[in-house]
Amino acid sequence: TGTVPRRKMAAPVKKVPIHLQSSQNRLIIKNGKIVNATGMQDGDIFVEDGIIKQIGTNLIVPGGTRMIDARGRYIIPGGIDPHVHFAFEFMGQTSADDFYQGTKAAIAGGTTMIIDFAIPKKKESLLDQYDKYRLMADDKVCCDYALHCGITWWSDKVKQEMEILCKERGVNSFKAFMAYKDDLMLHDDELYKMMETCRQLGAVAMVHAENGDIIQENAKKLLAKGVNGPEGHEKSRPEEVEAEATNRACVIAKQVNCPLYVVHVMSKEAGDVIAKYREQGWPVYGEALAAGLGTDGRPCCSSNYGLAAAHIMSPPLRSDPTTKERLMELLSADGLQTTGSDNCTFTSQQKAVGKNDFSKIPNGVNGVEDRMSVVWEKGVHTGKISPTRFVEITSTNAAKIFNLFPSKGAIAIGSDADIVIWNPNKTRTISAKTHHQACDYNIFEGMECHGVPEYVIVSGRVCVDEGELKVVQGHGRFNPTPLFPPTVYDPIASEEEKANYAALPDIVTETSDQVSQLHV
């Protein structure tokens, strides 16, 4: 494993809580197979104070160190879910998983870091929304987290706030919406300016790629014809409506020389667009979702409204059931690079508000808990991807794209001790009866998955212990994400820029006046 970080560690210096400053803060994991994106090796891992301190065989460790035997198991970097929405005010509802329940569910499934989105409404301040999210999250998160910010309108003030978020608040990524017209959607001229600003700052531009104008017209027509049930959702936004916007986002990004990250790629056509731009050598990245890999949109046509509504998200789960295999093939061939969940859960009661109008069904599905198992089952268990590629698409690539590597995304000396001991021979069956999420359904209900996280270590603390969940509220920290991720910017930056960003200081947002004052 690599031990020399490319850059200074991104995370702030961790304070070790008093109660962990004993032998409890030391751990040795023996006899497992360590899997990194770069390869596999047999070896033992010694953890102290939340950091991986040694990797090797016959390690000499202090007396009283707890030993975990990982024989027959893989030892993988904790999953990073780059796309969740906890306690998100959206379509008239607040998503059901908050930062406590959401991160608890994440850990139960082998994910040790999540990235959420602070999304202001039009005319609202980005900084206010960021502060609101820090306040909501900081004391609740059971694992580390970071924040993207949503760009939902454009003005000089938005541009100025983007710069402050980047330089003083540890945000290096911004999501624009090409859908949700009249609510979150940006027009092309605004997208252009948003991406141009990302390029100037060294941030990562992200897009929700669907043509919001077309969707609105189609939805009006369908409703007028009396198609008002959940089956109208995908009809109003077919594959080509996603693929068109994906292509347009790539074109705009190219005009301003900005790297691009396309969130929630849900169709074959959109995936092919991204793969095409990548073949041309352009730094565009595509994210598949657990939902898109593990299930499809056929339940949206069910006469059972609850089942149908549970599967409503945007872009839609496709009624073409072969989409999931194609998305996994794209992940395997590096046409797509990451897997997220887009976890945005609403209870059946919340979903019921769209009973007479599909366009009012709160959009969002579960996935933060089951993403790792679903990707393993559909990817590794079927033989489509290797365990090293699994690590890459569930953790390492997200860490690299959002500039958290190698603190995150690697089992390496000096990395955070976010570690999962994964048993590929055990199985579990996904069910709302046993999941840890705040919603009363699970879109993967009944799916049997090989691959179970037996131990999940979060910043050195054993939070899943022989399968038993023992999370601590507030144990996680906000991780600032530095500008100019080398993975993203090396392909396009000038030599002068590269020299500058290699020397960028770490941002320690713990000292952010606003946030720390609000926390007293």
Binding residues (CB under 6 A) for ligand URP: these are 85, 208, 264, 313-314, 342, 344, 363-364
Residue 131 vs 497, nearer CB to Zn ion: 131
Q: Rule CB under 5 A: is residue 138 a binding residue for Zn ion?
A: yes
Residue 76 vs 313, nearer CB to ligand URP: 313
Q: Rule CB under 5 A: is residue 371 a binding residue for Zn ion?
A: no
SS3 504: coil
Q: Residue 313 binds which one of Zn ion, ligand URP, none, with CB within 5 to 8 A depending on kind?
A: ligand URP
H-helix or E-strand containing 75?
Answer: strand 74-77
Q: Rg of the chain's alpha carbons, rounded to an integer?
A: 22
**Residue 342 CB, nearest approach to ligand URP (Å):** 5
Q: Residue 519 binds which one of ligand URP, Zn ion, none, with CB within 5 to 8 A depending on kind?
A: Zn ion
Going from the C-alpha of 202 to that of each of 100, 265, 361, 481, 496, the distances in angstroms are: 31, 24, 36, 11, 13
Residue 7 vs 264, nearer CB to ligand URP: 264
Q: Rule CB under 5 A: is residue 15 a binding residue for Zn ion?
A: no
Angle at 460 between CA 455 and CA 462, to 5 degrees: 30
SS3 331: helix
- DSSP 8-state assignment for residue 393: I
**Residue 11 CB, nearest approach to ligand URP (Å):** 26
Cβ neighbours, 10 Å, residue 470 = 12
Q: Residue 363 binds which one of ligand URP, Zn ion, none, with CB within 5 to 8 A depending on kind?
A: ligand URP
Site string for Zn ion, 322-361 (x = CB under 5 A): --------------------x-------------------
Question: What is the chain's length?
Answer: 520
Q: Residue 140 binds which one of Zn ion, ligand URP, none, with CB within 5 to 8 A depending on kind?
A: none
Residue (of 37, 88, 77) closest to 342 by Cα position: 88
Residue 228 vs 359, nearer CB to Zn ion: 359
Q: Residue 374 binds which one of Zn ion, ligand URP, none, with CB within 5 to 8 A depending on kind?
A: none
Token pair listed for 424: 């590929």
**Residue 514 CB, nearest approach to ligand URP (Å):** 26
Residue 169 vs 208, nearer CB to Zn ion: 208
| List 73, 208, 268, 475, residue binding Zn ion (CB under 5 A) | 208
Residues 438, 490: Cα–Cα separation, whole Å: 41
SS3 176: strand
| List 139, 163, 188, 357, residue binding Zn ion (CB under 5 A) | 139
- Label residue 486 left, alpha or beta by phi (over 0 means left) and psi (-120 to 50 means alpha): alpha
Residues 312, 197: Cα–Cα separation, whole Å: 33
Residues 247, 262: Cα–Cα separation, whole Å: 10
**Residue 306 CB, nearest approach to ligand URP (Å):** 17
- What residues make contact with Zn ion under the rule CB under 5 A? 138-139, 208, 342, 519
